[in-house]
Structure 1
Amino acid sequence: MSQPAPRGRGAVSGAVPTRFGLATREADGDWRDMQADIDGPGPKLRTTVVEEFPKTIVSFNRSPDIPFDRSLNAYRGCEHGCIYCYARPTHAFHDLSPGLDFETKLFAKPNAVEILRKTFAGRGYKPKPLAMGTNTDPYQPIERDYRITRAVLQLCLEVRHPVTITTKSARVLDDIDVLEKLARERLVAVGISVTSLDPKLSGLLEPRASAPAKRLAALGKLVEAGIPAHVSVAPVIPSITDSFLEAILERAGAMGVQSASWIMVRLPHEVAPLFREWLETHFPDRAGKVMAIIRDVRGGKDNDANFFTRMKPQGVWADLIRSRFQLACRRAGIGQVKIDLDCSQFRPPAADGQLALF
């Protein structure tokens, strides 16, 4: 039997992962009922932030499935609480729940710019677009206080290093002044992910992300400011969000967005049981159908983790969505313009914080 979801959170539970041999704990159902009668509702979940000071800040990869080879994540965990987030399992490495812990126990990296400057100044460093928002959102609510993302953008502008941003937050407009300057030098591209046009559904899927209308409005303002903007219909969840595909692209196209993509929902490791739990809580009438389609496009499994195929769903359902996407882009006037950023302007800083003369 499903349990009620905590108000304002994506995950239903905070189950501890078993992949690493951690002890599991489950409250007895009778005791839960007695405790509620005696003590009343449990305390409201609060977001906590721990500051950490890593020695490295840029992650390099050689994956053949993603279009970037380096990324920076200013935060670990994400208060947006997107139930489908493929980054949730990273909390398991720290003996924390990929469920509620992932969206309530956050980590910030205040020294990110200091370490990034040293990385840029490193001997032999060669610039390529630095991707932000590939794991956790650079504009989640705590960015309002920490401003780490803004500081990274300012450094990229200073040294003329290209950067890309992926977000589900209209908060990206807080930095439109820096983004405009980067755009004039062909040093930035911003992608905003829109999953549906239903604010109620969005409140269940991604409870603390910006409402869909605000994300679309942010895309329009980026276009008006001359900042290359990309709409990502991601993830597409069959029988939950796929019906919004055409309308999202139509609205984005009407705002002048010229680049779009879609990604089928992925359920690695602990995300699969968390997502199943979410389905049983919010959509019990179609939970079986949703998972059946997901398994169909993933070769009969909840998830395909293999290189070359993990980002390419297969089968009739995947082909149908792919065809719908292509047709919708043509109708919306979205021409799939490739956004090329300029890596030739990069000026390495000196390790002491000054720009190098040569």
Structure 2
Amino acid sequence: MKILPEIHSIPRSHPSRIAALDMLRACALLSVVIYHSVQMSPVPLPTLSLVTTNGQYGVDLFFVLSGWLIGGLYWREMQLDGQVNIARFWGRRWLRTLPPYFVALALSWGAVRFSRGEPFDPGYLLFLQNYEERIPYFLVSWSLCVEEHFYLVAPLLAGALFALTARRYFWIACVGLLAVSPLCRWLEWNRHPAMDFGYIQTATHLRLDGLVMGFAMSFIAIHSPRSFGQLRSSALPILAATIGGLVAIRMIGGPTCFALWPLLVSIVFAAVLVATGTKKSDDRGWFPWSAIALSSYSAYLVHPLAIHVAILLAAGNSIIYWPAAATVTIAGTALLYFTVEKPAILLRDTYLPRRALMRGKAMSLGGKS
């Protein structure tokens, strides 16, 4: 019996890439990089900024994709083995994310230490900077804090809920988790006045919508493929209705908009993911989308520093700024990816391979004996 008919984007036991998911990840990265490049341009571009400011929602798309992919790994192992090796799960996540993060952190802090004498904040070592009222430097790291906190807690909470809740009622727990961040945002309304980029925009409990959404969607895909198929057929109507909801709450404004906006944005991206990223597709011809997707983590980490370097090189000349920003970002991404991120991935896959791969090798050896 086929457990997952046509669900080709759930992480599999071989390293093939999914073109649609790569395209979504590449779009998320490019939207964020373009947004920051325009935002930090030495020559103000107010008209262009009206469009590129929406690039900030690329982070929400990253959250949905991360929840979907990590959830796929988690729920598939749960389905095959009846449990998840939490230590291995954490180890694989940390080997994948921590080495590039700490290198990028060292570069970012070194830059601000040199330029303005900024002292090192030890909270960065524990991913606590997203709870500061003002993030002093390396601002993009706030989203990594949210993800690392989620990686730490999600497998424990999901395992407990799965063990204590009947499978047919598990969706109720998922809906409850989806309500956490909107409720917290509602309670935070007016508690924090306008401030520099920090807590009110970045605290983990205020930004869980996308990760929980993706994680829950992967559960449905694996444990109830029929329901997921129905959801996929309804993706476009859901997308249209949610966009209408975004327009409505923007008109309402106030605490309603503050509380519900990130949730509805996450639903939009979840609908796009379900509609485009879970169908059969020809994975050939994935370049350049997969090249961008492969290095998206490194690019996300280094692009703010690369933009600052481009600003210095341009010395106020916008004609020089744009090619300099592109060149330095690409070079910095390649350097971090090939010297840190890729070796860390190889190290992870050597010493902490996926359980499915280990099982496949054992069966292969058993067949040969």
Same fold (TM over 0.5): no
TM-score normalised to structure 2 length: 0.29
The structure with the greater share of residues assigned to helix is 2
TM-score normalised to structure 1 length: 0.29
